[in-house]
Chain A
Amino acid sequence: MSAVTEYLRRAVAPRLVVGLSRKRGLQQLRAAFRRALGLRTNIELFFAFDDPYAAIALPGLIEIAAAHNAKLNLLPLIARGIDGDPAATQRSVHAITDSRRLAQRNGRTLARNTPLAAEDCAFLAAWTIAAAQHPNLNSFVADALAQLWFGSDALPSADTYAAIYQQHIGALPPAVTAEHRASLASNTALLKKLGHWESPAARVAGEWYFAHERLVQIDAHLRALGA
């Protein structure tokens, strides 16, 4: 590799990434333009039910969205993470320990000691897709995540969560279909296309945050945008 290429890779490219990330002018202009049109700021949360960090993130994110009159769009995932990551298992085990500590910061106690498999919660992700347009979707997901991670360490049963679904959505949950599965796969593809790979990834006016550990920063970002 030539010295010029090395310098571009080691110095110019990373400095450019950092430098551009600090330029907020365009974001603020876009936010002001949207406000003038009466449009709300969008927050997209890509999350997985089998991720305890999602249960940590969502209540705070709902509060922040409400405080800034932002629209919180929930996009459930089944597949997530980095392809071929040799530390994937360690990450899921550590996420339990770490989530327990993060929950304790808010006086909450995680009910689970071992990771859940994505397939164990796949029906919840499908139901979230099915109720995507319902105004109570976010409260259903928040309650389901709370039950899943703070309510019990039992394997999730469709019966338990059907009652929560009915309470918020006002109907029995649908059977999981191939269309639901396809939508979930599309969410994973969209996450990667937009430049992230994991749950719970919040995209706030175009900027990415790991929502479980950056709620204060998300709040500050929205405030800076005047949202």
Chain B
Amino acid sequence: MRDTLEYFFSFRSPYSYISGPRAFDLAKRYNIELVWRGVRPMAMRGQPLPRSKQFYILRDTAREADRLGMPFGKIHDPLGEGVWRCLTIAELAKAQGRLSEFVLAASRASWAEGIDVNLDAPLRAICEKVGLNWNDCVAAIANAEFRQRVEENTARLSQLGQWGVPTFLFRGEAFWGQDRIQDLEAVLTAAGLAAPNAGTIAK
């Protein structure tokens, strides 16, 4: 049976955004099943986020994005319903095998393209570009089961004793931070799981 790698992600987290390409790439380079888990943002689960921390995160993400060669800075904060729309559509995308395409496109839209995902027209363009039917997406946004899944993911993160994103969980060990992927990869390699094109992304 294949090992699972759980990947906790928030559309409101710029660090989640810059982790995305490397995180999904893990499923192409290691014999694992990547289980993406969308969670509610810290600001929507009672975690205090003072202005100094918000500013630090934005400035540090800018430095890290520049280092990684990723676009960043043309921001439209999706906090609130925009986050929920992305989380529920991501569940649909997961079921249809379009998860990485949607997650990467929607998070890039919020953090690098200045797109307001709370508006139908730009969100529809993102969905259709990654191969999702807009009517299915509208139904997904209203899908109570999808929202419940997000609540379960958020509860699981908390049960693990973790709070921030992106967080990865492999064999009971948590790795928090986009800059800890290298430590995670060291563990995956030591576990003998390095294998091109052997992994999958869970539906």
Contact = CB atoms under 8 A, between A and B. Distances in A.
Are the chains A and B members of one assembly?
yes
Interface of A: 9-11, 14-15, 17-19, 21-22, 82-87, 90-91, 93-94, 97-98, 101-102, 105, 192, 195-197, 207-210, 213-214, 217
Interface residue tally of chain B, by bracket?
A: 35 or more
Given A14-B77, A15-B75, A90-B163, A97 B56 contact: no
Given A11-B76, A19-B73, A87-B163, A94 B59 contact: no
Contacts of B171: none
Interface string B100-142: 0000000000000010100000000000000000000000000
B75 A14 contact: yes
A188 B67 CA distance: 31
B101 to A, nearest CB: 25
Nearest to A19: B73
Contacts of B175: 101
Contacts of A90: 161-163
Given A86-B47, A98-B176, A22 B52 contact: no
Given A22-B62, A208-B56, A15 B161 contact: no
A220 to B, nearest CB: 9
Interface in B32-89: 46-48, 50, 52-53, 55-56, 58-63, 66-67, 72-77, 79
A9 B123 CA distance: 20
Contacts, number: 87
Contacts of B67: 217
Contacts of A19: 73
Interface of B: 46-48, 50, 52-53, 55-56, 58-63, 66-67, 72-77, 79, 114, 116, 161-164, 173-177, 179-180, 183
What 7 pairs between A and B have smallest CB-CB spacing? A87-B163, A10-B77, A18-B73, A21-B59, A14-B75, A101-B183, A18-B62
B123 to A, nearest CB: 15
A195 B63 CA distance: 18
A12 B61 CA distance: 17
Contacts of B180: 98, 101
A94 B55 contact: no
Contacts of A10: 75-77, 79, 116
Given A10-B75, A21-B59, A22-B73, 14 more contacts: A9-B77, A19-B73, A21-B58, A21-B63, A90-B162, A94-B161, A98-B176, A101-B175, A196-B56, A209-B60, A213-B177, A213-B179, A217-B63, A217-B67
